[in-house]
Amino acid sequence: MKKWGFLFCLLSCAYLTFSTTILEPKVEIQKVDDYVKEEDKSTSKKIHKKEITEKQIHQGNLLLVNQEYPVEQESIKSDIINLFSHSELTQGYGLMDSNIYLSKDIAIEFSNMIAAAKKEGVRHFSITSGFRDFEEQSVLYQEIGSDYALPAGFSEHNLGLSLDVGSTQMKMAVALEGKWIEKNAWKYGFVLRYPKDKKDITGIEYEPWHIRYVGLPHSAIMKEKDFVLEEYLDYLKDEKHISVKMNEENYSITYYPISGSRTIPILNNSQFEISGNNMDGVIVTVYE
């Protein structure tokens, strides 16, 4: 589930403007603590501190899971459900079998995306795999090898945020469904996790069927800059803070390194979401 609260927004930011075409961002970094003090005096708005702990590094929708960064127990989504038992969430697509599991939140987002595809005449989707426990992942890894799978505990499928999507007509690499996903999934918070020409970064061959939920505006930024998750998280660490304007919505995204515990500035009446990166910090996304 999303964690909402209030976060103070930094003054000097980078801006991304999205319409039908996403434009290149301009980035400017502002020191956080200096601005907090200035803003507090100039606006008289109440600011308090929210404590962030190391545990939160391993929770959220932006967790990096690969050969180097494994799934922690607290990383696994707490709302995993059997989709076969929730027909209200599987309208418009099929299930390969009766043992497809996924985060309920992610299943809702996926259903919204499939409904949008159906309006465009693309309607032959199925889910072939979703959440896998460590035992199931281990069996799969032994069967298909390291080019197309990761060991148990090192796969995104162990989180509940990823799923394999198929077409009932043909292979996803050539199917209309696969082409639609590659072009449009970002609009609904999903990314193609293992795209072409990125194996040197992800360690995994091209998988046109494997999508991962990261949420907006992150999926839009990744699409616009042609980033995989590894590249995007490095980008946020380098820039520290960016602001994003997408259609009529404004977002502020800040990376905070975490060692032990620390506090971040909170301003009343701002919604925010916190996600760890599963490495060394958290990303705070403000919905302004």
| Residues belonging to the active site | 207
248 burial (CB, 10 Å; 0-12 / 13-18 / 19+) is exposed
Count of CB atoms situated within 10 Å of the CB of 66: 18
7 burial (CB, 10 Å; 0-12 / 13-18 / 19+) is buried
Long-range contacts of 116-119 (CB under 8 A, 24+ apart): 116/184, 116/187, 116/188, 117/177, 117/180, 117/184, 118/92
6 burial (CB, 10 Å; 0-12 / 13-18 / 19+) is middle
* SS3 at position 178: helix
